[in-house]
Amino acid sequence: MFFIYNDAGRITQMVGQSQPGYADLLREAGTNFVEVGQDMTDTYVDLSSGTPALKRRPELPGEFDTTTLKPFEQATLPGVPACSIVVEEGPLGPGQTPHPGGDLAIGFVVPGSYRLSIEPFPYRRRVFTLTVTEPSAQ
């Protein structure tokens, strides 16, 4: 989406164009514009200041304390807002787990690679991979 504005900064037109190269066409025509995200999933309306403001969704901060686990061990991602965790790929197939907020501790029993998708609004979706190794024979 594009906001086209005049020399005073007044928005004169809004264009919901998703055609590749449209920004280049506006530049070549000498048109003043601001590109406002490619889709609704990239931006949100921030209400924290009392005045609604369109902002780009930030990336979820932080990393898991470990990405390689043994069966029954857990990895922790600190300070995750309430959301749902979706296991997009894993040995047992997809599943979804609600998270109430706070540190996210998650583990698996079956060895393999688990691709986790986490999207606590207003953060953008972030994907992590955790690997559960085979237990060693002793």
pTM over 0.85: no
Residue range 15-46, pLDDT digits in tens:
886 677 888 999 999 998 887 765 667 778 78
Chain segment 43-83, per-residue pLDDT in tens:
787 888 888 777 888 999 999 999 999 999 999 999 999 99
Do residues 112 and 131 lie in contact, with contact meaning Cβ atoms separated by under 8 Å?
A: yes
Q: List the chain domain ranges.
A: 2-56, 68-132
d(CA 12, CA 15) in angstroms, rounded, equals 10
Question: Residue range 122-135: average pLDDT?
Answer: 93
Closest by CA position to 69, among listed 111, 16, 10: 111
In terms of Cβ atoms closer than 10 Å to its own Cβ (0-12, 13-18, 19+), residue 102 is exposed
Task: For residue 138, give both structure tokens.
Answer: 């002793």
- Which two three-digit tokens encode residue 90? 């894993």
